[in-house]
Chains A and B, each alone.
Chain A
């Protein structure tokens, strides 16, 4: 399945597999059509248990684990990534990728859970509010702290989080002070935007203030196509 012809179109082609977006490495491999004769799965399933496809997706909706578990996992993730990169930008990119694969799955889950009343967001403000409230609330139990539009650039918006949970257990050494591990959350946001056909780049920047030393701004820069589409829609 080639998608080379869509490079000239201003609109991102609709892909039945939302994880395939141009230019972004995907964590879900595209469906492969192998030459082997068997198309059936060779996976063994436990006979006494239902397979994961029988389990209800809402089963784990309200379940909770300790914050420490997440903190330890995230810390290990950062440490592992640190060993395989040179430089802060690369490390942030790796964290972004991790967040990206999480965001893809989170988006599907959240939209499915909204059910019949789910509204497909076509406007920038709409999707940003979806992220600020629904997405943020589902992972962090609180909406994001602010949403702003940049005055200088048409295509830039800022999502503000006064105290990103992922950073609360990370201490950054002085020589890496530009690193912001909220690049992970930036990846989640980017995946949600890409999945809803608002391609762009999301980066995390720390903007500490006196009262809020951990304040982070997620800079969302949309692609040309999105801004054009937005102006067409009026």
Chain B
């Protein structure tokens, strides 16, 4: 199953995606994070929140772009969702395929391990003693996942568990399925 997904991702990447210089994206993202750090005057927790919010806004629109580019059908379960995100989603937008691991027994939580992160290429966190402990540089990705999955009826919580920029061994994002959003009719309608 995951092999076909990998092929879908590769295929879409090769044929249906307009490409742009990766360094431009890296530099643009860096500029955004730097601007946020300046605006919030070093309150890295706020910066994390803001990055997540910006990512959420992106995710709401990104999911449509994703569905248009890949024509993927509905995923049967959360495991399939995870595979799709890793092999197709990230491939189509960032040309990377993180690994899906560390499933919990109830199949509601998994980890994405990023071997490489184009957003954080050649980045070093500020050496002010706090940034490495407080800032999650790629936090926008968490928001993107949250926004995108919310549009396909899944409420998830995504956060980084470790980050190479912080001196950890790997960059790992933990994704938890909170609940499936069933469409609720507004009160008063049957």
Contact = CB atoms under 8 A, between A and B. Distances in A.
Interface stretch (B19-27, B78-86, B173-181): B19-27
A231 interface: no
B118 A60 contact: yes
A64 B124 contact: no
A209 interface: no
B102 interface: no
Contacts of B154: none
Contacts of A74: 28
A65 to B, nearest CB: 5
Contact of A55 (B54, B95, B122): B122
Interface string B8-34: 000001000111111111111111101
Nearest to A53: B124
A42 B127 contact: yes
Interface size class of A (residues with CB under 8 A): 35 or more
B151 interface: no
A27 B125 contact: no
Contact of B19 (A42, A67, A138): A67
B167 A79 contact: no
A98 B28 contact: yes
Interface stretch (B57-65, B105-113, B182-190): B57-65
Interface string B157-175: 0000000101111000000
Interface residues of B, number: 47
A46 B95 contact: no
B124 A52 contact: yes
B39 interface: yes
For chain B, what secondary structure do more than half of its interface residues adopt (helix, strand, loop), or is it mixed? helix
Contacts of A98: 28, 31-32, 35
Interface in A124-152: 138-141
A105 interface: yes
B20 A43 contact: no
A73 interface: yes
Contact of B21 (A45, A64, A72): A64
A102 B166 CA distance: 23
Nearest to A74: B28
Given A64-B19, A68-B62, A101-B31, 14 more contacts: A27-B35, A60-B118, A65-B19, A66-B18, A67-B18, A68-B93, A70-B25, A79-B57, A80-B32, A80-B36, A102-B28, A106-B27, A109-B23, A139-B24
10 tightest A-B CB contacts, nearest first: A44-B167, A64-B19, A67-B18, A63-B22, A102-B27, A67-B20, A72-B58, A66-B17, A98-B31, A76-B54
